A and B are shown apart, each in its own frame.
Chain A
Amino acid sequence: SQKIEQNSEALNIQEGKTATLTCNYTNYSPAYLQWYRQDPGRGPVFLLLIRENEKEKRKERLKVTFDTTLKQSLFHITASQPADSATYLCAPSGSARQLTFGSGTQLTVLP
């Protein structure tokens, strides 16, 4: 069955450092992958989409990579700030109209 795995542990990093979050998937071949941010008590908010033919995508301090051979996406936040503290969810998807989400990684940026 299809499976999505994100960093199993919560991630704590120091302000100013680069945070790297991992999303691994098995048993399917997504045509694209989306990343969302979720704050406590709120719904997820879309951040970035990367297609299978794109190796890397950037938006301000965010960078996403997509390796279809490794079946993995990496999500980087450079120059991290306490305001980046949140849970980050990945959602690989193919032609299906619905999205399936990973369980998320809780990131805490320490001042």
Chain B
Amino acid sequence: DAGVIQSPRHEVTEMGQEVTLRCKPISGHDYLFWYRQTMMRGLELLIYFNNNVPIDDSGMPEDRFSAKMPNASFSTLKIQPSEPRDSAVYFCASRPGGVYNSPLHFGNGTRLTVT
């Protein structure tokens, strides 16, 4: 199993540009989570999906952020337009359903820098 795969690993963009981050969860996992990590705020949950359906997006900072999961093997997080304060490491994580306390499997993140 290749684990959770995120791309790109690094993204540098200018303020105002659209940014799309991608995630491939572990096959068979029913839950997918998007987190953002910064030194100031730590690891924050942005949104999570169950069986491709968004369940809780209360952590999405504002309307500039959107996430989709068109199928069980792919999810995107889009920021449009991007701002310097969006600079952070964005992690995708997945876990199986069934047992509600099963651990999360994280990807290695996308480091986003908005200049």
Interface residues of A (CB under 8 A from B): 31-32, 34, 36, 41-46, 49, 51, 89, 93, 95, 97-104
Chain B 43-82, CB within 8 Å of chain A: the 1/0 string? 1010010100001100000000000000000000000000
Contact assessment for A104 and B42 in the assembled complex, using a CB-CB cutoff below 8 Å: yes
Contact assessment for B55 and A43 in the assembled complex, using a CB-CB cutoff below 8 Å: no
Give CA–CA (A32, B99) in the complex, Å.
12
Instruction: List chain A residues, Cβ under 8 A from B48.
Output: 97-98
Chain B 97-113, CB within 8 Å of chain A: the 1/0 string? 00011011111110000
Contact assessment for A46 and B101 in the assembled complex, using a CB-CB cutoff below 8 Å: no
Instruction: List chain A residues, Cβ under 8 A from B109.
Output: 41-43
Contact assessment for B31 and A43 in the assembled complex, using a CB-CB cutoff below 8 Å: no
Contact assessment for B101 and A49 in the assembled complex, using a CB-CB cutoff below 8 Å: yes
**Quick one: which of A43, A51, A98 contacts B45, CB cutoff 8 A?**
A98
Instruction: List chain A residues, Cβ under 8 A from B4.
Output: 43
Task: Report B43 CB to chain A, min CB distance, Å.
Answer: 4
Contact assessment for A46 and B55 in the assembled complex, using a CB-CB cutoff below 8 Å: no
Known contacts A97-B48, A98-B48, A104-B42, A44 near B106 by CB under 8 Å: yes
Tell me the interface secondary structure of chain A in the complex. loop
Give CA–CA (A31, B101) in the complex, Å.
9
Residue in B closest to A95 when the chains form the complex, CB atoms? B100
Q: Can you name 8 extra interface pairs (CB under 8 A) apart from A43-B109, A97-B50?
A: A32-B101, A34-B103, A36-B104, A43-B4, A44-B43, A45-B106, A46-B104, A99-B45
Chain B 7-33, CB within 8 Å of chain A: the 1/0 string? 000000000000000000000000101
Contact assessment for B100 and A97 in the assembled complex, using a CB-CB cutoff below 8 Å: yes
Q: Which 10 A-B pairs have the closest CB atoms?
A: A43-B106, A46-B103, A103-B42, A101-B43, A32-B101, A43-B108, A44-B106, A98-B48, A43-B91, A42-B108
